[in-house]
Chain A
Amino acid sequence: MEGNTETLSATSEPNLLSPPKFRAGNIFFKRFISNPGAVVGVLILLVIVIVAVFVPFLAPHNPDDVDPIKRLRPPFWVTPKGSTDYLLGTDAVGRDILSRIMYGARVSLLIGVISVSLACLLGVTLGLLAGYYGKWVDNLVSRLLEIQLAYPLILFAISITAVLGASLPNLIIVLAIANWPVYTRVVRGQVLSIKEQQYIEAVRSIGCRDYQIIFKHILPNALPSVMVLATLQLATVLILEAGLSFLGLGVEPTIPTWGSMLNEGRNYILTAWWAETFPGLAITLTVLGVNLVGDWLRDVFDPRLRNI
């Protein structure tokens, strides 16, 4: 009898004492799967990240191997000179374009992710301080923001690069300094509305210190917007990095990046279209992936950011 009861409760009766848990992860996954754009975006980024991480094992050639005899070879499908040894052809000094694009993914993603994180850190901190303390702090930050917005981004980046010199760390710093205002503006706006909420008044009345209120109670509420914004900004930064490298103001010439490949290929545009086309396609595809994921994150977490 006892055994029967156990069997019954295990198979047919719902267990009322421990109701099924609300699984946010499941809902998130279902929404993700039902959005083809997001799936395509994640797949694109996944492939690029895998290439960037495992490039030493995946690249068919050393990206720096110079071979003047094999210079300006076309992609494999262009007969008669194209060969499967160099699937996407070679550049002006005989380096394999596919391998350089694969190594370029590593550098470009590194620059993008680190500079977006730094800009985010600076921008969010200033936004929190300006929104929370108001008065002269807000005035100072707002004026700085307006000045930065009046300085055309690319000219700003060029003049800073001229001061610091063209190198990988300097490029990251330039991109970070150039992009903080967008975070500050959004976070400041959010703090202004969050700090008027009753729960903030409540934690203040129980004696919480300013830094506790800012980091424990205000920041978590502003984080979804910041995350969405950071994803969308990654796309902007990737394009800006390519632009600076294209002008010769990016990283050292020895490091392969997509922008510097475009810069080098520009001189052979009439004879070797592939040297210019494929690095640009790599940038476009990556930015497309980032935008698709960013758009989806925005629709899920913060549709108000649509106009930013």
Chain B
Amino acid sequence: MLRYILKRLLNALLVLLGLSLIVFITLRLTGDPVAMLLQAGSPSKSDIAEMRRLLDLDQPLPIQYVSFVGKALTGDFGRSFHYSTPALGLVLERMPATLTLTLSAMAVALVLAFPLGIISALNRGKFLDFVSQTISLLGVSMPNFWFGILLILIFGVSLQWLPVSGSDGPEYLIMPSIALGIPLMAVLARILRSSMLEVLNADYIRTARSKGLAKSTVIIRHSVRNALIPVVTIIGLQFGTLLGGAVIVETVFSWPGIGRLAVDSIGSRDYPVVQASVLLLGAILVIVNLIIDILYTVIDPRIGYK
């Protein structure tokens, strides 16, 4: 087990190294940040050269990259071109907001997906199944940011029950997490339904029923637990979608997370901040997928590690 985790961690480091190279190259192609920073006034050649030296942009690209990776390993992603503060600090400052939003969206998705998926599977072909499937289908078909805007229109503007933007209290979290969580809810409910349907036809469920076990025990302890594996896989795969989705939802609700910071920084070519945000989000994704892999053994002890 330990060997497996170490191997996966090493692989994760390689992936992050590759990611850092791609981010580095992509950003260098976006344009000259010095020209953008000094566009006000008419800077002299020496001003430009001085600015390049200050921002470490006067070295050849391979040296810039090696220096970037070396420093990043010690947690130094350079200083933001715009805020003149350490880039990592800026990103970490926004991290709690993004993680809070993402995890609440995940909670919304799970809390709604389980009853929806289970009810749907237990009532296959009946009216409840139809309703639940229609809700799921609409959930995967709606762009989450548009759903967020509808929520703002209904609960923020018309009914005035909830604040439309900002992050000054728990009530500010309700609409963004619902907007972000609904598409994931829909995906999970669909997977849970099909996975439950497969499990419900299995021999061991018939055995459990014929033993005279209570219906709730058969459903919760025997069926749902076994139907969980594909659901857990999807949670891992969808976590990236959730983090990506957070970028747009944060913009809609003016939520002060990494997503908005990254979008603004790409626009202003603030390399250090973009690099730090993408690598941190990438690291979270890689770690979440590792945790999911380990979780499999808890859910299904038959899965071993090679």
Q: Are the C-beta atoms of B141 and A146 separated by less than 8 Å?
A: no
Annotate B179-207 by CB proximity to A: 1 below 8 A, 0 otherwise: 00000000000010011000000000000
From DSSP, what is the main secondary structure of chain A's interface residues? helix
Q: Which residues of B contact A277 (CB under 8 A)?
A: 150, 153
Tell me what chain B mostly uses at the interface: helix, strand, loop, or mixed.
helix
> Which residues of the other chain, A, contact B27 by a CB distance below 8 angstroms?
159
As a 0/1 sequence over residues 189 to 224 of chain A, the CB contacts with chain B under 8 angstroms (1 = contact) are: 000000000000000000000000000000000000
Given the interface pairs A150-B286, A152-B244, the reply to whether A235 lies near B143 with Cβ below 8 Å is no
Interface check B16, CB cutoff 8 A: yes
Given A150-B285, A152-B278, does the pair A280, B150 have CB atoms closer than 8 Å? yes
B22 CB to nearest A CB, Å:
6
Residues of A within 8 A of B256 (CB): none
The answer to whether A284 touches B233, judged by C-beta atoms less than 8 angstroms apart, is no
With contact pairs A152-B247, A154-B245 given, residues A162 and B267 touching in the complex (Cβ less than 8 Å): yes
CB nearest to B281 among chain A residues: A152
The distance from the CB of B113 to the nearest CB of chain A, in whole angstroms, is 14
Q: Is A246 within 8 A of B145, CB to CB?
A: yes
Does B228 lie at the interface of the complex (its beta carbon under 8 Å from any beta carbon of A)?
no
Query: Within residues 99 to 144 of chain B, which ones have a CB less than 8 A from any CB in chain A?
Result: 137-138, 140-143
Write out, one digit per residue, whether chain A residues 76-87 have a CB within 8 A of any chain B CB (1) or not (0): 000000000000
Q: Which residues of B contact A266 (CB under 8 A)?
A: 149, 252
Q: Does A97 have its Cβ within 8 Å of any Cβ on chain B?
A: no
- Which residues of A are at the interface with B, using a C-beta cutoff of 8 A? 143-144, 146-147, 149-155, 158-160, 162-163, 235, 239, 242-243, 246-247, 262, 266, 269-270, 273, 276-277, 280, 283-285, 287-288, 291-292, 306-307
- B interface residues, Cβ below 8 angstroms from A: 11, 14-16, 18-19, 22-23, 26-27, 29-30, 137-138, 140-143, 145-146, 149-150, 152-153, 157, 191, 194-195, 230, 233-234, 240-241, 243-245, 247-248, 251-252, 259, 262-263, 266-267, 269, 274, 277-278, 281-282, 285-286
- Since A154-B259, A158-B247 are in contact, a sample of 11 more A-B pairs with Cβ atoms closer than 8 Å, ordered by chain A residue number, is A146-B11, A151-B23, A153-B241, A154-B244, A155-B244, A158-B263, A276-B146, A280-B142, A283-B142, A283-B143, A291-B141
Q: List 15 A–B pairs whose Cβ atoms lie within 8 Å, in order of A's numbering.
A: A146-B15, A150-B19, A150-B240, A150-B286, A154-B259, A162-B267, A163-B26, A163-B30, A242-B146, A246-B143, A246-B145, A247-B248, A262-B149, A270-B157, A273-B153
